[in-house]
């Protein structure tokens, strides 16, 4: 038995590796590779899964760790910053999308219970996928990024409630007593756990955190124990794991816990999606073609339009509304968990699970490319989105300067921009800072610096900036395409301006020079170059190095106050 499980796991993981490499090359989420692996090992293809119960147990652990880490990373700060727009847009989008999907499901002859589950499954978007995509693009702290995450948190909270209700449906037939029991038990458990999380866990984790191994062991024990307690009270272990994560999210060590648990989560989650793919059936797939096409169009096209419309009503510009809507064009992991639970309860058939899984594959694939090339997509679609724009003043206009000419325009106030700004202050030149991070703009406003919120890759923003007589434009944005757009736009308006850009690749730097950049900053080479000059200038004079050391320490402390601790690509 053990040797059979070991052999099957070896084959499955090796196959998953090959498929995942291909999906990674195609710039797709690895979840797609896992599901395709499950399809390949199913009875319809290779038929190499005979120990399904063992894989089911492993996949269950994957879901538990996934939900534990979702709870661990729920960020109340984001809700506070964009709470109003996230709450209004999130709830209305869920109501509108689920209503449309339900009505279409009924028109397509699905039963009422099937239509309800399809509507629920196609309403939620994946927090994990969008967090990964936004992080890779360096847009996690942008306004659309924060609003998207805020909406996803609202969706996650609603999904928690649905998980609790659905997991308890098999236990009670009397709806009134069921509702009362769920309310009392659930509320009581959550209150007790949150009190423990506020008053007891911080002190305990502070002592345990002295050992990283103990911290990891405690986190696993806490997750599984709370999940088991919820199971004892006839709730699902998934809900228990989620609540366990939320209670630990108050701990200052949540980031260490999350990073150490991620490999464990990823391995067991691999089993969940492989099992999901292996459960798909293809006998009546032709009868599902129409629903697959219709529902995929709703998620990839109609869903973003609903988000854009709702945000425009609240006074947001079409660009931020569009980018937020694009971030919600895929199906959540919660959808699979809910449907798997519904399947085990006998509420739906495997055909419904197959239907939603195929739609998930299509939308995840489409969403990945949409998010990756969202700026280019916006440039193409911008003229058609004007119908959503309201003429009143925009909430996110972010204009904190006078309409005047500036000697220097700095596009991107990141770690390099920090030093450049210090030099500009000393030169006593009029300068404007443009940045895509709302928190950065708040800092600049407090310092009394002329600034503007916006994406330098937005052609409309560049048109709005008065750059015809600017003497210098500096871009600290690392993306080659954005810098080429900026250089070409500036050269079409102001041929005499000195343009300084940034690049991390030699070939890209040479390309920027060809486009007309006056100088290209290459951070990876500057450190060694600067140190070489110090050695040549100071030789073996320890006093000069000591002076340089003290100045560097002060500079580092100044940067730390501004949150500039970890290097990462940022957009301006």
Query: What mean pLDDT do residues 516-541 have?
Result: 74
Summarised one tens digit per residue, pLDDT across range 80-138 is 666 788 889 989 999 999 999 999 999 998 999 999 999 999 998 877 777 767 766 77
Residue-level pLDDT at 562: 61
Does residue 289 sit in helix, strand or coil?
helix
Query: What mean pLDDT do residues 245-261 have?
Result: 80
Query: What mean pLDDT do residues 311-331 have?
Result: 87
Summarised one tens digit per residue, pLDDT across range 180-228 is 666 677 677 778 887 887 788 878 888 888 788 888 899 999 999 998 9
Residue 293: band (very low, low, confident or very high) from pLDDT cuts 50, 70, 90: very high
Summarised one tens digit per residue, pLDDT across range 9-53 is 888 889 999 998 998 888 787 888 888 888 888 877 777 766 566
Summarised one tens digit per residue, pLDDT across range 419-431 is 777 777 777 778 8
**Lookup: tokens for 193:** 């756990």
Residue 569: band (very low, low, confident or very high) from pLDDT cuts 50, 70, 90: very low
- Per the model's pLDDT, the better-predicted residue between 49 and 491 turns out to be 491
- Per the model's pLDDT, the better-predicted residue between 354 and 137 turns out to be 354
* Euclidean distance between CA atoms 159 and 541, whole angstroms: 64
- Per the model's pLDDT, the better-predicted residue between 273 and 165 turns out to be 273
Domains in the chain, start-ordered, CATH in brackets?
A: 54-367 (1.20.1530.20), 399-561 (3.40.50.720)
What order do you get walking across the sheet with 408-411 strand by strand? Answer: 399-400, 451-453, 431-435, 408-411, 472-475, 498-502, 519-521
Residue 397: band (very low, low, confident or very high) from pLDDT cuts 50, 70, 90: low
Q: Which percentage of the chain shows pLDDT scores above 70?
A: 84
CB under 8 A, 24+ apart: contacts of 516-524? 516/487, 516/488, 516/491, 517/483, 517/487, 521/416, 521/476, 523/416
- Per the model's pLDDT, the better-predicted residue between 265 and 117 turns out to be 117
* Euclidean distance between CA atoms 78 and 243, whole angstroms: 19
Under the phi-then-psi rule, with left for phi > 0, alpha for psi from -120 to 50, and beta for the rest, what region is 150? alpha
């Amino acid at each position: 038995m053990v040797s059979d499980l070991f052999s099957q796991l070896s084959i499955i993981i090796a196959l998953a590796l090959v498929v995942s490499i291909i999906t990674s090359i195609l710039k797709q989420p690895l979840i797609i590779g896992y599901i395709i692996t499950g399809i390949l090992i199913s009875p319809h293809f290779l038929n190499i899964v005979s120990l399904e119960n063992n894989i089911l147990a492993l996949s269950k652990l994957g879901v538990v760790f996934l939900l534990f880490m979702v709870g661990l990373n729920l960020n109340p700060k984001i809700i506070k910053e964009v709470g109003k727009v996230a709450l209004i847009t999130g709830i209305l989008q869920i109501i509108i999308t689920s209503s449309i999907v339900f009505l279409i499901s009924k028109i397509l002859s699905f039963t009422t219970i099937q239509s309800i589950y399809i509507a629920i499954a196609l309403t939620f978007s994946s927090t994990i996928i969008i967090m990964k995509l936004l992080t890779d693009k360096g847009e996690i702290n942008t306004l659309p990024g924060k609003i998207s995450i805020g909406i996803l948190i609202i969706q996650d909270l609603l999904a928690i409630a649905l998980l609790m209700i659905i997991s308890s449906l098999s236990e009670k037939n009397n709806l009134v007593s069921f509702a009362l029991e769920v309310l009392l038990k659930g509320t009581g458990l959550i209150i007790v756990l949150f009190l423990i999380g506020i008053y007891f866990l911080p002190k305990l984790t502070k002592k345990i955190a002295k050992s990283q191994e103990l911290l990891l062991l405690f986190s696993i024990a806490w997750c599984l124990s709370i999940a088991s307690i919820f199971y004892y009270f006839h709730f699902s272990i998934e809900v228990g794991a989620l609540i366990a994560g939320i209670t630990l999210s108050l701990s200052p060590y949540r980031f260490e816990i999350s990073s150490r648990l991620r490999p464990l989560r990823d391995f067991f989650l691999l089993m969940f999606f492989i099992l999901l793919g292996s459960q798909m059936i293809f006998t009546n797939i032709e009868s599902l073609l129409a629903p697959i096409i219709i529902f995929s169009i709703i998620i990839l096209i109609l869903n973003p339009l609903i988000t854009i419309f709702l945000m425009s009503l609240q006074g947001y510009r079409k660009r931020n509304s569009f980018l937020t809507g694009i971030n919600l064009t895929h199906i959540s992991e919660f959808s699979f968990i809910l449907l798997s639970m519904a399947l085990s309860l006998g509420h739906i058939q495997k055909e419904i699970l197959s239907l939603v899984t195929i739609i998930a594959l299509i939308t995840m694939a489409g969403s990945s490319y949409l998010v990756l090339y969202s700026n280019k997509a916006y440039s193409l679609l911008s003229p058609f989105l004007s119908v959503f724009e309201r003429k009143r003043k925009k909430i996110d206009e972010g204009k904190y300067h006078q309409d005047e000419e500036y000697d220097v325009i700095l596009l991107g106030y990141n770690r390099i921009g920090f030093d450049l700004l210090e030099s500009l202050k000393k030169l006593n030149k009029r300068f404007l800072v443009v940045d895509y991070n709302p928190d950065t703009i708040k800092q600049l406003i407090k310092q009394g610096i002329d600034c503007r919120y916006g994406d330098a890759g937005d052609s409309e923003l560049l048109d709005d900036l008065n750059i015809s007589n600017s003497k210098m434009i500096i871009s600290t944005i690392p993306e080659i395409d954005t810098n080429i757009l900026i250089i070409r736009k500036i050269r079409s308006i102001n041929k005499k301006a000195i343009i300084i850009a940034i690049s991390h690749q030699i070939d890209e730097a040479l390309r920027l020079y060809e486009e007309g950049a006056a100088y290209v900053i290459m951070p990876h080479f500057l450190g060694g170059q600067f140190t070489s000059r110090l050695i040549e200038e100071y030789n073996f004079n320890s006093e000069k190095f000591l002076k340089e050391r003290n100045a560097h320490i002060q500079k580092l402390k100044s940067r730390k106050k501004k949150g500039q601790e970890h290097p990462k690509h940022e957009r301006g």
